[in-house]
Amino acid sequence: MNEYLIQLNALFIVPERIPVAMIAVLITMVAGMVTGPLRGNANPFLWIFYDLIWGRPGDRLNKPGRARGDLIFRGFLFSAFGIAFAFILGRGIADMAAEFPSGGATEIAFVTLGLTSGSVWFVLLRLYFAMEKDGSTQGAFYGLSRSTRFNLTSTDDFGIVRAGVGFAGVSFDKGLVAPAFWYLIGGLPILAVYSLLSAFAWRFGQCGHTAGFGSVALALEKLMGFVPALLSGFLLAAAAAMTPTARLSKILPAWWAVKHKATYAQGGPAMTALAWPLEVMIGGPVQDFTGSLLPNGWVGPEGATARLDHRHLRRAIYVHFMGCLLFLAALGGAYVFSGRLFG
């Protein structure tokens, strides 16, 4: 029976990739905290890279006022070309890693570029210390605004903290667990493709309120991200269970709640798994960089406060950190279970 389970585990993931993923996660944890986010953006470097190449061309195609069908078709062609580009990029890096003696380091470096963790803490801690010291978010939310693409000058301090807590959940899922998950299954090419789709969803998806151009990227990212999102939600719920101030009684109801759950495009299970145990209300309408109002729903248990302060932010950072440790432990357990460690 044990041998059968080992074979089943190897059927879905390549065990030799697990140590690479673990090293990459550790690098993002340490390097992200030391260097901070690139250009103020705490998302994975691959998102920033894709955004530099595809962002402006996409904006030119995403013309407001056009028919929704036309925008969806444009988004389909745009996404198709982007996916082909990402797959070729990932395939090229994989071939390079296989050919050269230092290929292992090349593979680790590319996987690291597809993940984020420490830079998320850097951005959120900067906001936390500003609020703790000065009682205000003034001048400390630039990185959060860049990372979420929310115009945080249009909201108050409570809204900024809500955005920070929500970003902790979303980045854990789409910036850490999901890309590592797809790397383990499909290697560098599939990691590159998922990173492109998540970058497109971030840039053009508008939390699910797109006029049509980002619909295809959102749908494809949801298709690839559904299973990792459940894993992310489970890990954050488990991390919240280890948070002294979290309400354990709120963890299980979050999975079956019919009201105030995050839609997948807004953050999904990971965002819900943060709001309910911490007994806070996050989300809510916000303005994005384009000036569009995003009517995001409220996420959290009925009657929870939406007036969040730096203490709530500290708890969210702690849950995110514990989630990263649990993810590393899960990867290590999968590697031991595969039999490679002692085989």
What per-residue confidence (pLDDT) applies to 1? 44
For a pLDDT cut of 70, what percent of the chain falls above it? 91
pLDDT of residue 244: 74
**Tokens 């807590």 sit at which residue?**
165
Residue 275, classified by CB atoms within 10 Å of its CB into exposed (0-12), middle (13-18) or buried (19+), is buried
Span of 178-182, 250-254, 308-312 with lowest mean pLDDT: 250-254
Q: What is the pLDDT of residue 72?
A: 95
Determine how many CB atoms are found less than 10 A away from the CB of residue 328: 15
Joined tokens for residue 268: 């999904």
pLDDT for 104: 87
Q: What is the pLDDT of residues 128-161, one digit of tens each?
A: 999 988 777 778 899 999 999 999 998 999 999 9
Residue with tokens 């910036």: 175
Q: Can you give the pLDDT at residue 199?
A: 98
pLDDT level of residue 254 (50, 70, 90 thresholds): low
Structure confidence at residue 256 (pLDDT):
62
Residue 253: predicted pLDDT: 66
Task: Judge whether 149 and 254 are in contact, CB under 8 Å.
Answer: no
pLDDT tens-place string over residues 40-66: 999 999 999 999 999 999 999 998 889
**Quick one: pLDDT at residue 14?**
85
**pLDDT score of 295:** 94
Give, to the nearest 10 degrees, the angle between helix 103-113 and helix 178-204: 40
Mean pLDDT of the chain: 90
Amino acid at 36: G
Question: Rounded distance, CA 209 to CA 207, Å?
Answer: 6
Residues above pLDDT 90, as percent of the chain: 72
Q: Which residues pair with 282 in a beta bridge?
A: 299
Specify the range with the lowest mean pLDDT, choosing from 85-94, 181-190, 307-316. Answer: 307-316
Report, as an integer, the average pLDDT of 278-306.
91
The model's pLDDT over 63-97, given as tens digits with 9 standing for 90+, comes to 888 999 999 999 999 999 999 999 999 999 999 98
Whether the per-residue pLDDT at 4 is higher than 50: the answer is no
Mean pLDDT of the 171-193 span: 97
DSSP state of 261: P
What pLDDT band is residue 337 in, cutting at 50, 70 and 90? confident
With contact defined as beta carbons under 8 Å apart, do 147 and 264 qualify? no
Out of 57-66, 175-184, 298-307, the most confident range is 175-184
Q: Which has the minimum average pLDDT: 14-28, 37-51, 66-80, 100-114?
A: 100-114
How far apart are alpha carbons 342 and 68 in whole angstroms? Answer: 56
Question: Is residue 27 over pLDDT 80?
Answer: yes
CA distance 318 to 170: 15
